[in-house]
Amino acid sequence: MLAEADTALAQAKAKLETLKKAKKEAPVVALNQLKTAEANYANALQQAKQAGQSGALAGRQSLLLNATAGRRIVQNGLQSLDNFEDGSTLEFELLILKDAHVNFQLAKDRQKGLTAAFVGFDQGRILSYRPGTFSEFEVGRYDFVGGQKRFHVSLTIQTQADRCLLSVRSVVDNKPLVENITVALNGWNPVGDPSKAITFDARTGSMGLIDEIALFAPGGRKSPVSSTEKPVLKFDFEPPVYRDGQDVIGTDGWLASSYNQAPAASLVSQTAANEALRAASEKLEIARRAVQKASLPEEAAHAQWIAAQTKLVSLQARINADEARYREDSNGADLLVQKASRLEREAILRRAKANVLAGELALQQAEALPQEDANRQKQIQAATKQLASARTNLEKARADETKTSDYSPLSPQYPRTSTGRRRALALWMTRPDNPLTARVAVNHI
């Protein structure tokens, strides 16, 4: 195993050195476009600051769910919550940037995709479940074209009555769209149940900005404007826990759903709430990608080299931990096990990042094929699938980064103690009260 890892590292290093020698510079046109985009973004940022127009719904940053293509679902199991009182209020801010379908859910079983309660914003309609059922009904409407794009959503959760009181207010005109309408809860309670979660779901064609997710104890939220009561739980997407441009998955308990579809994303953003800033930021990202085309092969090779290095280090750490674990004098084994676990998770994460870059490179190369190439579309589809799978695995690696304190075994594991079943069978067959003929026959069989 060590020899294989050594060989893989040497091959990755050789490929990286070859690409460094043959490195191509980014085209002058692309570099000039990047400079222009950077200047335009800096100008838009300065204008926004002077006008007091933030790029976030609150504070400096918000969570952007961009499902212009694909689908994005983020979930949080609220694992730090050890008590959930009847009458607690859950609220959040939502800005719809592209109106197709965005919803908030109280997940009944996040892994199976089951929903206990939800609030959906669907092309002008506000939807939820009827009390005691999973039947959708329209609880209100909003005028997206007329400017009703930002909402304050509040759910007072009455666990004993198994229902919620839903309120939705349009922020731009301070108009109540839904006022204390009774909707379903369907037994949702996250305490001690890892299958439960809160969920935000942006379906294809949607883009939404989310912020100020907060849970208040009963009576702790008299008014969404004037109350100063501290929440029991809050997600505000602010630094240093959250970084601008970073996917939220793997941070602060946020998880990805198996129902996600690439290339939709869930990114922390400092610009999305400001239209001019958002447009300038998107153009800047496009310009950066154009310049990156020249450097992507080397970046991908460098990531593969780093992944090979961390795999070798991880493998050696696991061997050391195994040796310490199973020898008679196992002093210090616990520390070696912890080290092996940490290095293995780092190796998995590095490999996942390298595979994402490899997928991006494969897609770039497929898109660069001539339009008349008969295999172009087939290769683009294959590369897109490869990249989507790599991104899913990266999300999983980020989410698993702090979950375990053990490491994968290097060889098959067998029970260290006998179950006693074979001994029991032997004793039963040879019992003196069994007929001799039967005992001899069974023994021969």
Distance CA 99, CA 276 (A): 18
What pLDDT, on the 0 to 100 scale, is given for residue 145?
96
The average pLDDT across 76-104 equals: 94
Distance CA 327, CA 392 (A): 39
What pLDDT, on the 0 to 100 scale, is given for residue 226?
45
Q: Residue 223 pLDDT > 60, yes or no? A: no
Distance CA 234, CA 210 (A): 13
Question: Which residue in this structure is represented by tokens 């032997």?
Answer: 426
The average pLDDT across 38-63 equals: 83
Q: Residue 225 pLDDT > 50, yes or no? A: no
Mean pLDDT of all residues in the chain? 87
Residue percentage of the chain with pLDDT more than 90:
45
Confidence of residue 416 (pLDDT cuts 50, 70, 90): low
Whether cis (ω within 30° of 0) applies to the bond prior to 409 is: no
Q: Model confidence over 298-317: pLDDT tens digits? A: 999 999 999 999 999 999 99
Distance CA 5, CA 272 (A): 44
Domains and CATH numbers, the chain: 2-20+292-399 (no CATH), 62-273 (2.60.120.200)
Containing 163, the helix (H) or strand (E) segment is strand 163-170
Q: Model confidence over 249-285: pLDDT tens digits? A: 878 889 888 898 878 889 999 888 888 888 888 888 7
Confidence of residue 295 (pLDDT cuts 50, 70, 90): confident
- Which amino acid, residue 117? A
Q: Model confidence over 149-166: pLDDT tens digits? A: 999 999 999 999 999 999
Containing 197, the helix (H) or strand (E) segment is strand 197-202
pTM: 0.68
Q: Residue 344 pLDDT > 70, yes or no? A: yes
Dihedral angle sign, alpha carbons of residues 110, 249, 266, 379: negative
Higher pLDDT, 409 or 440: 409
Q: Which of 137-141, 317-321, 329-333, 338-342 has the lowest mean pLDDT?
A: 329-333
